[in-house]
Amino acid sequence: MHPLRHLEQRQTVAGDQVIEIPVRGMDCASCAGPVRQAIAALPGVQSVDVRVSAEKAVVRLDPATADPAAIRAAIEAAGFTVPLPEPGVPATAPARATDFTRQVLALFGLVFGAVLLVVVLGEWLGLLNAITSRVPWPLGAAFVLVAGYPVFRNVLRASLRGQVISHTLMSVGAFAALAVGQWATAVIVVFFMRVGDYAERFTSERGRRAVKDLLAMAPRTARVEREGIEQEIPAGDVRLGEIVIVRPGEMIPVDGEITSGQATIDQAAITGESMPVEVSAGDQVFAATLAQFGSLHIRTSQVGPETTFGRVVRMVEEAETHRGTVQRLADRFSAYFLPVVALIAVLTFLIRRDPLATAAVLVVACSCSFALATPIAMLATIGASAKRGLLIKGGKYVETLARADVLLLDKTGTLTTGAPRITDVVPFNGRTVDDVLGLAATAERDSEHPLAEAVRIAARERAAPELQPEAFEAIPGFGVRARINGRTVTAGSARLVASGARLDIVRSFEAEGKTTLLIAEDGDPIGVLAAADTVRPEVLPALDALRRLGIGRIELLTGDNERVAAALAGQLGIAYRANLLPEEKIAAVRDYQARGHTVVMVGDGVNDAPALAQADAGIAMGVAGTDIAIEAAHVVLMREDWRLVPELFQTARRTMRVVKLNIGFTAVYNVAGLSLAAFGFLPPILAAAAQSLPDLGMLANSARLLSSGNDRSQGSGTTAPIVSGPTCCQNCRDE
């Protein structure tokens, strides 16, 4: 049997295979390094992408030369595990915390608090020496070795790979305490190392909650009809084009088009929108959405990871691989931090000749917190934003949004609804608005022109009387002519109607960038209709909010004509460039970038894909189900709601403030801790207790970030869970 067959999801890429391997024991970004190195060194492996938050390694390999058994062995040799599947549980099923686990963690917290209190009081009052002096040193040393065996084993494994991890320093500190007869100090150091590991595993599970919550939404089975028999099969086994049956209260397992039935669909998993939508035959629906009322028959268009929901999950998983400048700087600093601490410890011993102070220096160093200062906030923000329908493809785009000062906008489908609407009706010769609309809608009844649909919608909204035309004629480039109650009604341009008829009104509407329809009966003008692609109602307040956030330049880039662009830009109070081809939009983006600006482009993600890709951050709006938009943009808004745009910028700036505070707090804390330890004011016992505090501080700081983000969701309709970024694990501790 294939050694990894139960673990992988495969696809063929240029003759290679791509497999996804669950990896347990990865609790921080630094864990990715040893896993990646272990797999990449094997024959036949083309590339390795380790996703810590998703607990998996995505490996592209040559099936002719790669050995799956060797991949598993390499992962386990690096100190991690490849889990075996539980009977009846899919390999990708998210882990769930049990009541037993919560009880153990609660008990562990009580023990931790009690021991910490005893240690601190005992150290200050001098009680520990009186207790430990009665225990023989060999017995105490044996207890240290047994209690610290998991830690010491991982330190040894890392050392054999030529790596120094933060547990290395703490282990050296514990052995230094043993060497000077302070076995109790060594026990406490080991105790706090183990406590820190358990606490960090717990917080890392919360950090993965964003992905696991998404995975938990995915339906596991689908109901299909095959050979006249209704069957329930795994969702991944549904074939393209097959009809899936969904009943009330069930999750939709595929992307597809409704062939029959009506239902109310909760699409929060895809769009983040809390209000359900009504769907019927011909409408598109998405996997992981809930059919609340009604039954549906759906023709499948996408299955499994290729559905919109599958792509959303993949984007959240991949987000951690796009590391920003701040995160890369923190990673480089962390790489130099441990050697510096070792040097300080050596100097402490050479100058003060105090082994306990030397041990305290090694124990108090908290390099882990430097590596975590950025990802603990970035992953939390990305995961929580995904629950609100904002998909950010990586931490570097959070940084970009935070410092952006230029916002470029597409028009059709972005600022506007993308469909014309009747904005004005001016009747002539004693006619009423309803008369003009009713005759226009009757004349346009059989027309397929977009303006005809706008006329029909306007007539229905006013309940204007519509009649049955006796004859219909479309005149390309001019309009339509219909026979109604024995009279000839025309609807179209002024050239179709008598020359000079009320052209002053027509010109005034056209000066506003609107399209006009002149309505006539038997050659006599009876009214003018003006239509425009209307601005989304939330755009103006959203732009005002962006200006308050410090976006200094907002500009419209459109392929529309000068008149239409000027009218829209004037309405919104922004600059504009008209008559632009796609390559000219790219040139506009590059022009701002060449002048040192950070440019964000907002578009619909289809015809604007080149400009979105060129911008420092491209935002595609309202693209649920649109493949090209999700792939082209750096940030994806799953629904057409401009309130999400200022929320996105505000979230990015708030996140960067938290990141900077995390880094500053960590730097000050480590300088203070190392100084106190080197000068003998911080004994090893208290140094061990203090070592884990920066991680807890950053966790609390990032939780504050997310709670304030939820408060300012501006009506996005969902409440995102508080998730935290991952912290270091026992296996790697800042490798």
- Just list the catalytic residues: 410
Q: Answer yes or no: are the C-beta atoms of 214 and 311 closer than 8 Å.
A: no
Q: Quick check: 608 and 615 in contact, CB under 8 A?
A: no
Which tokens belong to 434? 């309803």
- Whether residue 443 contacts residue 431, with contact meaning beta carbons closer than 8 Å, is answered with no
Q: What are phi and psi of 47, to 5 degrees?
A: -160, 155
E strands present in 510-583: 515-521, 524-535, 553-557, 575-577
Strands 250-251 and 290-293: antiparallel
CA dihedral 15, 16, 19, 23 (to 10 degrees): 180
- Residue 477 sits at φ, ψ, to 5 deg, of 85, -10
Question: Angle at CA 50, nearest 5°, toward 44 and 52?
Answer: 155
Which residue type does 249 have? Answer: G
Structure tokens at 673: 């801790």
Q: In what order do the strands lie in the sheet with 575-577?
A: 390-392, 635-637, 617-621, 599-603, 406-409, 553-557, 575-577
Token pair recorded at residue 690:
């203090």
188: Cβ–Cβ under 8 A, 6 or more apart, which residues? 119, 684, 685, 688, 689
Sheet with 11-13: strands ordered across: 11-13, 16-22, 56-61, 45-51
Cα(696)–Cα(264) distance, integer angstroms: 44
Q: What stretch of H or E contains 194?
A: helix 183-207
Do 58 and 71 touch, CB atoms closer than 8 A?
Answer: no
Listing DSSP states for 113-156 in one string gives: HHHHHHHHHHHHHTHHHHHHTTS-HHHHHHHHHHHTHHHHHHHH
* Cα separation, 257 vs 280, whole angstroms: 9
- Rounded distance, CA 660 to CA 345, Å? 28
Please answer whether residues 211 and 20 qualify as being in contact, where contact means their C-beta atoms are separated by less than 8 angstroms: no
311: which residues sit within 8 A by CB, 6+ positions away? 305, 627, 630
Angle, helices 433-443 vs 450-462, to 10°: value is: 140
- φ, ψ of residue 126 in degrees (nearest 5): 75, 20
Q: How far is CA 157 from the centre of its chain?
A: 35
Return d(Cα 215, Cα 309) in angstroms, integer. 9
Q: What is the Cα Rg of the chain in Å?
A: 33
Show the CA angle centred on residue 686, arms to residues 684 and 690, nearest 5°.
110
